[in-house]
Amino acid sequence: MPKTKLNVLVCDDELPIRMLFSLLLEDAGFQVQVANDGRDALQEMDKEPRRIFDVIVTDSKMPFLDGIGLVKALRKSGYEGKIIVVSGYLDKESNESYEQLEVDRIISKQDGVRNLGEILRGFFLA
């Protein structure tokens, strides 16, 4: 991994998932910020415009602004970092939408718990 810690924004409406992903990623050497939903994630990014998130890890189904809405807003704003969608369930339509929006990876929450740190390291060590 690079010498400086990579910045990751974890966006999930479930507090236990946010806490778990945050702890797993911090233990793996990442600097982590959390957001409750897509709207909160965009507000976090606006609050600290100089802080660039290298990766955004987002749930798909959330109140106020879901994962698809968040990814659309990120792409529209010119965000060029990595985006990983982690969800308990995605239907075919959602998968196709994420593919069209060119997310970097779509994984299940179970795989996220097991492999999220490795997946993120793989992006930056490849």
The boundaries of the domain holding residue 57 are 7-125
Kindly state whether residue 2 falls inside one of the protein's structural domains.
Answer: no
Kindly state whether residue 19 falls inside one of the protein's structural domains.
Answer: yes
Whole-number pLDDT of residue 80: 86
Kindly state whether residue 1 falls inside one of the protein's structural domains.
Answer: no
Kindly state whether residue 108 falls inside one of the protein's structural domains.
Answer: yes
Kindly state whether residue 39 falls inside one of the protein's structural domains.
Answer: yes
Kindly state whether residue 29 falls inside one of the protein's structural domains.
Answer: yes
Domain count of the fold of the chain:
1
Whole-number pLDDT of residue 112: 74
Q: Which two structure tokens, joined as six digits, stand for 39? A: 């709207």
> In a structure prediction context, what are the per-residue pLDDT tens digits for the chain, which is 126 residues long?
445 688 999 999 999 999 999 999 999 889 999 999 999 999 988 876 656 889 999 999 999 999 999 999 999 988 888 999 998 877 888 889 999 999 999 988 887 778 888 888 887 775
Please state the pTM of the whole predicted model.
Answer: 0.89
Tokens 């945050």, located at residue: 22
Q: Is the dihedral of CA 104, 22, 40, 47 positive or negative?
A: negative
Q: What is the CATH number of the domain that holds 19?
A: 3.40.50.2300
